[in-house]
Each structure stands twice: as C-alpha cells, then as structure tokens.
C-alpha cells in the first residue's frame, strides 16, 4: 500500500518491556474519518480527536498503549495535545494534522517524560514495512497482532485497504476498548469516507462482543491518502470501496473476538424472522452477551434453553411455539418443540469445533441480524482479576 509509513517501539510506558508507542504517517495529508466511543466518560485523546477530525484531514497518528490517558482532567488533554505538537514539529507538519490515541489503565497521568524522549526516534525511523511493529505497539491484553489487508479495483485502477486493530476485553458494540486504524491509498472525499466507515463498523465492530463493557477510549480512524490512482468518485465506486473496507473491518472484528480475553471458541448468533430490525438486533445482542450462553459454549454443552431464555428477556416480540433453533446444522428446537436427546448429542459434537454458528429463527417477521462473540472461560476471570497486579 502506497504512501504510508509506520513504526512501533518499546518506549517504557508499559513496565513489561513490550512495545507501547507507535506511529502511522501518510506522506501527504489524507482524507480522514473517525468513530469514537459512546461512553460518556471519554479519554483525553478522544476529546482532542473529536475536534481535530472535523476538518476531515489527518497526516499522522501517535498511539500509545499501557496508559489510557483517561480521567486525567485538564492535564490529560494538555498532555495529548503536547504529544501531537512534538510529533508535528519532528515531522515538519502542522499540529492539527496529528491525531493521538491511547489505551491501557485508566486514571494515571500519561508519562510525558517518556513520550517526549521517544518521539524523535519514533518519527525518524518510520518505514513502509514496520506495520507489524506498529500493530504490536498498540496491544494491551491482546495475545495476537491484528492486521488485515485487501485489494480492490476501481475503473481499472488497483487500491489497497489495510486495517490494524487492538482489543480483547471491554468489547461491546458502539465501540469497545478497541482501537482500529484503516489506511487506504484510494482517493476519496472525507464525507464519503465517513459514511463508508460508519456502514462498515455497523456490520463489524458494532456486532461483536467479548464481555459487554464499553471503553472510554475506543476509536476507529480511517485515512485515505490517494497515493494509488484509484479514485472514488460516484456511488458505484463507493460500493466497490465499501465491499473491500467491510471485509477488512469484519476481518479485524473477528480477530478481536477470537483473541477475546480467555476465549477458546468463536461463536456467531444469527437471528432470523424477527418482527422488526430492533427486535432482531436485541435478540442477537442478548444472546451474545449472556454469560450463561457463553459458559455453555465453553463447556461444549448444547444448552439451548439458555439461548431461548436470553431471547425471551431481550424485550423482542416472540412466540415460543414458533421458534426454530439450530446449533450448526442440528435442529435443537423446531416450531417450539424440543428435538430430543439424540439431537442434543449431535449438537454436542458440533460444539467441539473451534467455531459455532447458532441460528435462531423467530418465524414471525422478516428481519435478521447477527453478533459475533466468544465463549467465557476461567481465563477471562484470571486475566481481569489480575490485570493491574
């Protein structure tokens, strides 16, 4: 992908010696669009970012892990702005073209001495091939780096979309402790980019769940620098771009769930036949967030009663006598009747796989929705009981 450089280093913000400080740099000011957390408690970089994104231009992104710069008051906002300012000086660009993002522990001030000391090295050692280093530098409890790259063609011109993300806990729709950065060399106006990003997130990051908590720092930022000769001019071009973008975002979203804290399995709940779009969403959301469903999946127990009970408490219209429920290809409930012990035995075998698809048809309407989520193991508890100690 053309015109982007990256870097990621261990600056010493984390105390475990791992990478914690990174940069994305575009050779020219890129069209930019972003989505931020819906949490009312927001981190300083989000406050700054909301302002800066308005003009739809961005050339560099500075990201640190190990410290969320959240609940840090006026000082936190100053620290975020100073980080951007120092980076801008070293990069020789204007300050308002730099965005910042942070992830990590809430409450502690950003270690500005470490930040100041490391910006020169970071900005002087960028390269096209350091995306992997950047992807490591933004991780917290993640076990794996998350990168997805896809290519498309608009009017005979090839373009790339590369996404990089972090996040494995505090994951829930409407953004979670999740940072995602999308770089593309397509040329697209900022307002079209924003629309595409929103649509893409609604079918990816807003349809995943690890633990039902929403973070204070979530940010999805897209940069389009036009370094390829592919240009998004009209709706038809945008459809092509959207498809490639969606694939990158859904890829990243699934990687986040797969790397969910303590996760051993990836699951998908597909709701069909709901009476309204809201009902379809609410049922999928209730099932994906049910600790009892998640522990049953972990235990490879085809405990379909928990799926039905979660649907029942979702608030959606439903008639128990009409429900069909499948685990993989195995019907466990057909027209509201239990399929019996043999079906459960078959379903138990399906559940031994790494990925599970649950299809719940309410059979009372035409609306569908889905959620991708993970199971819930003892390790989730271990990770989160020990996070700061």
Return residues touching its own copies (CB under 8 A): 38-42, 68, 70-73, 105-108, 169-170, 172, 211-216, 289-292, 295-296, 298-299, 301, 303-306, 308-313, 316-318, 320-321, 333, 336-338, 376-378, 380-382, 384-389
21-36 and 57-67 strand pairing: antiparallel
- Grouping H, G, I as helix, E, B as strand and the rest as coil, residue 306 is helix
Q: Closest CB to its own copies among 195 and 348?
A: 348
Q: Closest CB to its own copies among 57 and 364?
A: 364
Q: Closest CB to its own copies among 189 and 336?
A: 336
Q: Smallest distance, Å, CB 198 to its own copies?
A: 20
CA-wise closest residue to 103 among 155, 180, 196: 180
Distance of CA 117 to the CA centre of its chain: 30
Q: How far apart are CA 21 and CA 7, in angstroms?
A: 8
Q: At what angle do helices 73-91 and 112-124 cross, to 10 degrees?
A: 20
CA-wise closest residue to 150 among 181, 196, 178, 184: 184
Q: Closest CB to its own copies among 241 and 331?
A: 331
Count the Cβ atoms, other than its own, within 10 Å of residue 213.
14
Q: Smallest distance, Å, CB 73 to its own copies?
A: 6
CA-wise closest residue to 138 among 252, 26, 30: 252
- Grouping H, G, I as helix, E, B as strand and the rest as coil, residue 291 is helix
Q: Closest CB to its own copies among 86 and 308?
A: 308
330-334 and 337-338 strand pairing: antiparallel
Q: Smallest distance, Å, CB 169 to its own copies?
A: 7
Count the Cβ atoms, other than its own, within 10 Å of residue 199.
15
Q: Smallest distance, Å, CB 180 to its own copies?
A: 19
Q: Smallest distance, Å, CB 343 to its own copies?
A: 11
8 Å CB contact between 11 and 36 = no
Q: Closest CB to its own copies among 121 and 387?
A: 387
Q: Smallest distance, Å, CB 167 to its own copies?
A: 13
Q: How far apart are CA 193 and CA 244, in angstroms?
A: 13
- Grouping H, G, I as helix, E, B as strand and the rest as coil, residue 147 is strand
> Tokens for 354?
């790494």
- Grouping H, G, I as helix, E, B as strand and the rest as coil, residue 200 is helix
Q: Is 69 left (phi over 0), alpha (psi -120 to 50) or beta?
A: left
Q: Closest CB to its own copies among 24 and 356?
A: 356
Q: Smallest distance, Å, CB 210 to its own copies?
A: 9
**Catalytic residue positions?**
177
């Amino acid at each position: 992908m053309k015109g982007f450089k990256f870097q990621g280093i261990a600056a010493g913000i984390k105390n475990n010696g791992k990478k914690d400080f990174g940069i994305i740099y575009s050779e020219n000011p890129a069209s930019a669009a972003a989505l931020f957390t819906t949490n009312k408690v927001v981190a300083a970089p989000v406050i700054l970012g909301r302002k800066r994104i308005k003009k739809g231009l961005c050339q560099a992104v500075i990201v640190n892990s190990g410290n969320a710069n959240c609940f840090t008051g006026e000082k936190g906002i100053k620290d975020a702005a100073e980080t951007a300012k120092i980076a801008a000086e070293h990069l020789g660009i204007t300050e308002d073209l730099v965005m910042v993002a942070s992830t990590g522990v809430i409450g502690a001030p950003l270690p500005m001495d470490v930040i100041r000391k490391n910006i020169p090295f970071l900005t002087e050692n960028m390269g096209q091939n350091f995306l992997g280093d950047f992807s490591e530098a933004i991780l917290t409890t993640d076990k794996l780096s998350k990168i997805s790259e896809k290519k498309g063609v608009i009017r005979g011109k090839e373009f790339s979309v590369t996404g990089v993300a972090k996040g494995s806990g505090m994951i829930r729709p409407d953004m979670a402790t999740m940072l995602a950065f999308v770089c593309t060399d397509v040329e697209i106006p900022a307002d079209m980019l924003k629309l595409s990003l929103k649509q893409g997130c609604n079918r990816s990051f807003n349809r995943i769940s690890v633990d039902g908590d929403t973070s204070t720092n979530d940010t999805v930022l897209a940069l389009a620098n036009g370094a390829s000769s592919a240009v998004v001019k009209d709706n038809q071009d945008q459809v092509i771009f959207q498809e490639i973008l969606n694939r990158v975002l859904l890829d990243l979203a699934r990687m986040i769930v797969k790397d969910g804290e303590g996760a051993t399995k990836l699951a998908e709940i597909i709701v069909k036949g709901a009476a309204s779009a809201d009902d379809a969403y609410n049922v999928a959301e209730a099932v994906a967030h049910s600790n009892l469903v998640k522990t049953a999946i972990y235990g490879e127990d085809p405990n379909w009663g928990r799926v039905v009970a979660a649907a029942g408490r979702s608030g959606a219209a439903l008639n128990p006598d009409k429900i069909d429920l499948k685990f993989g290809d195995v019907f466990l409930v057909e027209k509201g009747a239990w399929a019996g012990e043999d079906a459960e035995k078959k379903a138990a075998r399906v559940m031994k796989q790494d990925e599970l698809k649950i299809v719940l048809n309410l059979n009372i309407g035409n609306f569908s929705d889905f959620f991708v989520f993970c199971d819930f193991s003892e390790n989730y508890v271990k990770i989160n009981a020990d996070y700061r100690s």
